[in-house]
Amino acid sequence: MNRKTSEVNVGIIGTGKIGFLHCRNLVYNISEANVLSVADVRLEAARRCAEEFGIPKFTQDYKEILSDNSIDAVIICSSTDTHSSLIEEAAKAKKHIFCEKPIALELKEIDRALNAVKESGVKLQVGFNRRFDPNFHKAREIIKDGKIGKVLTIKIISRDPAPPGLDYLKVSGGIFADSTIHDFDMARYIIGSEVIEVYASGGVLKEEVCRKAGDLDIAITILKFENGSIGVIENSRSTVYGYDQRVEVFGSGGVVSVGNKLLDTVEIIDSEAIKKSLLPYFFTERYVESYINEMKEFMQSILKDTAPLVSGIDGKIPILIAKAAKLSYDANKPVKVAELM
């Protein structure tokens, strides 16, 4: 732990879109954090981030962060294929770890990373930020308190405004591991039960870039839970009206739903229509609060020596479900998650 018990010294590995966002939040919104260094394989990106937020050090070599004894924790925001190896190295360096999802696309790599964390005794929090959205959290508490009775079904709509580029799609692991993974985590978080069976269908109905990458642009996934509940997740890589994120949970005693946030609350009403603002365009606008809240939780888990709210196992299970979904899609049949364990 660092010298000042009220502060955590932090290094950030990867200063692309999400790394830049985390750096901004840590500097401006998280009083417990002290960002000492940033690293990126593109030196200019690291330099830009450091200069923008007044970070003392920037480097092209992440090992400089891991070898810095003054740094207590690392934030891993690099490309997916580097996550598991960086977790292992950071754990050996005795750094607490926040890692963006997914830990890895292969289960053996995830297990190796989690074993390294366990052996070193450091903390690991995985970046499923939607858990920290106040609205989703409130819905979960309502369900947990039994206010809608027994949960019967959960429906999740998760539509992106536009697909990523071809280079990203080729290494993303596909729609289930890259996009639906958030919804798999959200489903088990809100329901409070594990997924036991998956059936998935989908296709390429609009975005040719998805076809070129061997991916889907539309997917429907049906989930069966251990407690008997049934879930339906609808994903789209392309939505003309913005970032569409909704959840509805139907229970024996009622229903709870979380709707979209609009860019603002202004309405225009005239003799022809009621007009409102559009949805936020992407996740960085939709989940502003959740990104701040998840990082506050990570800092507090270090300072108070408590378990992070999103564990390494929470990072592994959605990949298991994603693999089951992909296998189901390929074979056109339901797949039990236990078969992949």
What's the confidence (pLDDT) of residue 210? 97
**Selected residue with higher pLDDT from 77 and 282:** 77
- Which fold, 8-122? Rossmann fold (3.40.50)
pTM to 2 decimals? 0.93
What's the confidence (pLDDT) of residue 94? 98
257-297 pLDDT, tens per residue? 999 999 998 999 999 999 999 998 888 889 999 999 999 99
For residue 98, report the phi and psi dihedrals to the nearest 5 degrees: -110, 125
- Return residue ranges of the chain for CATH 3.40.50.720: 8-122
- Which fold, 131-289+318-340? Dihydrodipicolinate Reductase; domain 2 (3.30.360)
Asked if residue 76 lies in contact with residue 98, where contact means CB atoms within 8 angstroms, the answer is: yes
**203 CB-near residues (< 8 Å, 6+ apart):** 216, 217, 218
13-33 pLDDT, tens per residue? 999 999 999 999 999 999 999
- Return residue ranges of the chain for CATH 3.30.360.10: 131-289+318-340
